[in-house]
């Protein structure tokens, strides 16, 4: 998959964040095994405290007969299983949950820790006859002591509520109660909470130890266990709400992306500018330059690219001028040699001498043709700054076809060009380019069928297509077809192939006219050459009118 540079940088940034998140999750998971003292446990503990307060407020406002509906409301709202229990084996309301042994053990250990004085030894275990049946009871467990048995105090005392529930100046209320100025009773933080993962399969279990609501009378009064069971800690957002974290992480990533945007855009913008300049240089346009407006490594790269382009421009132009000068200098001796051969041919008397002169004349003609191609290639390559003109394409193509198809059948070249099409080009260079393409098509595929010359409007330009019905060229030769002195293997004979400059001249002429040329094979057979030129401004005005 090809991704832009900015997308790759952002992808690596997100991958880095994901790695950090996974590492943090592993640490949190390891810490969570230690109980509610870990980071995640603290978050869960706070939500358990809130859930316990809500449940205690709900139970305080309902009679005991309606507690089942309150627990069922929690189950339907959050998608968890919940129950209200007197003890781990005594359900009171909600689902019939069977607590795993690990949870029971944790509850017992939790109660023992609460009974143990801070920094002291564990309390003495009372004799068996004094031990209470409920393991949550104890003098130091944070819950109100059970009311003493007042059966021996007389019948009048039996009609009165126990001292635990009789409030007054000498007996202030203990445990949670409603505030005097409205609101709802709150759950004291000293009441215990247990959270662990246990069972088979493993699930999350949360237990909140609620004090007895005011309307709940039991002998002795014992805490209630509000048990929550869920396979995932994120279910319903009761134990852990993931949405604020996702919003926070998304906001952090968004802000980070915005903070990275100037840096990444500066890097990618300079890289794109450098890439565009190098692509232009690869097409032979060595006048392309990169702005040197940075002082970092990218600025040094821009300076290096500009220096390379300047040196290549001088080297290539110098080579082209040298080739043109040599070709021009060769024209004079070749002309004199041709004149001398003409004289020798007139004076020759023997048949053998005439054969030698004829062979020498053919070699001299071939050399003259090569020199002429070198001159055309040099001129086309050096014509980089031209004043383009509005050229009627149909008329120019008709003249080229009439000149190149002489000696062939009348319908050897067919043209399909609208008379209104006008291109912006240099007439001589465009005619030379069309002539070379048509000449090559007739030379290599003239016997297989007519050569088609067509032109259509395409966007802001004109697409000129020259196609034949020959054998085409090997696919690996297509990218090199317009290189100077390159000839496919099927055209390396003197009878069929020239010096390999015909299509190179075409490319130089079209690029001088600010166009581009490409070649492709046709299925099942044939070669197509496509030339794209800009539309003449006058043609655009005519089309708008």
Give pLDDT tens digits for 487-500.
775 444 545 555 67
Higher pLDDT, 348 or 174: 348
Strand residues in 22-162 grouped as ranges (E): 81-87, 90-94
Residue 429 pLDDT class (50, 70, 90 cuts):
confident
Residue 447, sorted as left (phi over 0), alpha (psi -120 to 50) or beta, turns out to be alpha
In the chain, the N- to C-terminal Cα span, in Å, equals 46
Inter-residue contact 458 to 532 (CB < 8 Å): yes
17, 206, 212, 246 from 234: Cα distances, Å: 21, 13, 29, 12
Distances (CA, A) of 391 to 49, 422, 541: 86, 5, 15
Q: What is the largest CA-CA distance in the chain?
A: 167
* Sign, Cα dihedral of 442, 475, 371, 399: positive
What average pLDDT does the structure give for the chain? 76
Neighbouring C-beta atoms of residue 199, cutoff 10 Å: 17
Q: Which of 172-186, 326-340, 476-490 has the lowest mean pLDDT?
A: 172-186
Strand, coil or helix: 212: coil
- Band (pLDDT 50/70/90 cuts) for residue 128 is very low
The whole-number average pLDDT for the span 268-286 is 85
pLDDT in tens, 300-335: 899 999 999 888 888 877 777 777 777 777 788 888
- Between CA 267 and CA 38 the distance in angstroms is 43
pLDDT at 99 over 80: yes
Residue 519 pLDDT class (50, 70, 90 cuts) = very high
Question: What is the C-alpha to C-alpha distance for residues 233 and 116, in angstroms, rounded to an integer?
Answer: 31
Dihedral over alpha carbons 252, 254, 259, 265 (to 10 degrees): 150
Q: How confident is the model at residue 463 (pLDDT cuts 50, 70, 90)?
A: very high
Does position 18 have pLDDT exceeding 50, yes or no? Answer: yes
pLDDT at 384 (0 to 100): 56
What is the Cα–Cα distance from 30 to 134, expressed in whole angstroms? 33
Q: What value, to the nearest 5°, has the Cα angle with vertex 228 and ends 224 and 234?
A: 150
What is each CA distance from 44 to 37, 77, 94, 413, 533, in whole angstroms? 10, 18, 22, 85, 70
pLDDT of residue 182: 43
262's CB contacts (< 8 A; 6+ apart) are none
Q: Could you give the CA distance from residue 261 to residue 323 in angstroms, rounded to a whole number?
A: 50
Which residues on neighbouring strands pair with residue 414, listed in sequence order?
A: 452
CA-based nearest residue to 441, from 527, 315, 361: 527
The pLDDT, as a whole number, for residue 426 is: 87
Q: Which residue has the higher pLDDT, 317 or 53?
A: 53
d(CA 308, CA 302): 10
The stretch 410-439 carries a mean pLDDT of 89
Q: Can you give the pLDDT at residue 459?
A: 84
Summarised one tens digit per residue, pLDDT across range 21-36 is: 788 777 766 655 554 4
Q: Collapse the DSSP code of 182 into the 3-class scheme (helix H, G, I; strand E, B; otherwise coil) and give the result.
A: coil
DSSP H/E element including 482:
none
Residue 185 backbone zone (phi > 0: left; psi -120 to 50: alpha; other: beta): beta
CA dist 354 to 230, 313, 335, 359, 361, Å?
109, 49, 20, 9, 10
Please give the pLDDT value at position 380: 66
Position 42 scores a pLDDT of 64
Q: Report strand pairing: 451-458 vs 203-210.
A: unpaired
Distance of CA 359 to the CA centre of its chain: 67
What is the model's pTM? 0.46
**Residues 87/136, Cβ–Cβ less than 8 Å:** yes
Half-sphere exposure of 360 (CA within 13 A, CB side): 15
| Closest C-alpha among 201, 206, 173 to residue 106 | 206
- Return the ∠ at Cα 414 (arms to 408 and 417), rounded to 5°: 145
Q: Which residues pair with 208 in a beta bridge?
A: 193, 226
Tokens of 443: 């030379």
What pLDDT, on a 0 to 100 scale, did the predictor assign at position 539? 57
Strand (E) or helix (H) holding 518: strand 516-521
CA 267 to chain centre: 17
* Residue 374 exposed, middle or buried by CB count within 10 Å (0-12, 13-18, 19+): buried
**Rg, the chain, Cα only:** 48
Query: Are 206 and 193 contacting, i.e. CB atoms less than 8 angstroms apart?
Result: yes
**pLDDT band for position 161 (cuts 50, 70, 90):** very low
Q: What is the pLDDT of residue 491?
A: 45
Run of H or E residues at 75? helix 67-78
């Amino acid at each position: 998959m090809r991704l832009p540079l900015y997308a790759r940088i952002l992808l690596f940034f997100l991958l880095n964040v994901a790695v950090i998140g996974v590492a943090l999750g592993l640490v949190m998971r390891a810490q969570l095994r230690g109980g509610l003292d870990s980071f995640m446990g603290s978050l869960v503990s706070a939500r358990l405290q809130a859930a316990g307060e809500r449940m205690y407020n709900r139970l305080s406002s309902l009679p005991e007969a309606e507690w089942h509906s309150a627990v069922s409301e929690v189950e339907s709202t959050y998608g968890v299983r919940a129950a209200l229990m007197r003890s781990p084996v005594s359900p009171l309301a909600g689902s019939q949950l069977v607590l795993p042994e690990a949870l029971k053990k944790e509850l017992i250990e939790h109660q023992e820790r609460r009974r143990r004085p801070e920094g002291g030894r564990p309390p003495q275990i009372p004799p068996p006859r004094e031990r209470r049946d409920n393991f949550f009871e104890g003098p130091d467990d944070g819950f109100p002591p059970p009311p003493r048995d007042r059966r021996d105090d007389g019948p009048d005392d039996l009609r009165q509520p126990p001292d635990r529930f009789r409030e007054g100046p000498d007996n202030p209320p203990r445990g949670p109660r409603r505030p005097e100025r409205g609101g709802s009773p709150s759950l004291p933080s000293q009441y215990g909470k247990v959270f662990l993962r246990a069972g088979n399969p493993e699930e999350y279990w949360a237990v909140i130890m609620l004090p007895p609501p005011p309307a709940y009378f039991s002998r002795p009064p014992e805490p209630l266990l509000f048990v929550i069971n869920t396979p995932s800690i994120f279910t319903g957002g009761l134990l852990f709400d993931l949405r604020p974290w996702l919003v926070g992480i998304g906001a952090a990533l968004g802000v980070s992306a915005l903070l990275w945007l100037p840096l990444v855009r500066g890097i990618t913008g300079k890289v794109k500018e450098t890439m565009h300049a190098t692509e232009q240089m690869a097409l032979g346009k060595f006048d392309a330059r990169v702005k040197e407006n940075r002082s970092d490594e990218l600025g040094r790269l821009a300076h290096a690219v500009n220096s390379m382009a300047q040196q290549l421009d001088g080297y290539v132009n110098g080579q082209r001028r040298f080739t043109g000068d040599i070709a021009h200098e060769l024209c004079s001796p070749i002309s004199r040699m041709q004149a001398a051969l003409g004289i020798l041919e007139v004076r020759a008397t023997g048949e053998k001498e005439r054969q030698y002169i004829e062979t020498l004349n053919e070699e001299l003609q071939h050399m003259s043709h090569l020199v002429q191609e070198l001159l055309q290639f040099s001129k086309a390559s050096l014509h980089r700054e031209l004043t383009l003109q509005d050229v009627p394409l149909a008329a120019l193509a008709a003249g080229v076809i009439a000149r190149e198809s002489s000696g062939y059948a009348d319908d050897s070249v067919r043209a399909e060009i609208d008379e209104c099409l006008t291109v912006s080009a240099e007439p001589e260079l465009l005619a030379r380019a069309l002539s070379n393409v048509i000449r090559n098509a007739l030379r290599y595929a003239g016997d297989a069928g007519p050569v088609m010359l067509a032109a259509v409007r395409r966007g802001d330009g004109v697409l000129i297509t020259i196609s034949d019905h020959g054998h085409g060229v090997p696919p690996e030769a297509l990218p090199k077809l317009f290189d100077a002195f390159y000839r496919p293997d099927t055209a390396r004979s003197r009878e069929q192939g020239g010096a390999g400059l015909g299509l190179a001249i075409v490319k130089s002429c079209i690029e001088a006219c600010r166009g581009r040329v490409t070649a492709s094979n046709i299925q099942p057979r044939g070669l197509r050459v496509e030339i794209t030129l800009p539309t003449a401004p006058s043609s655009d005005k005519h089309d708008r009118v």
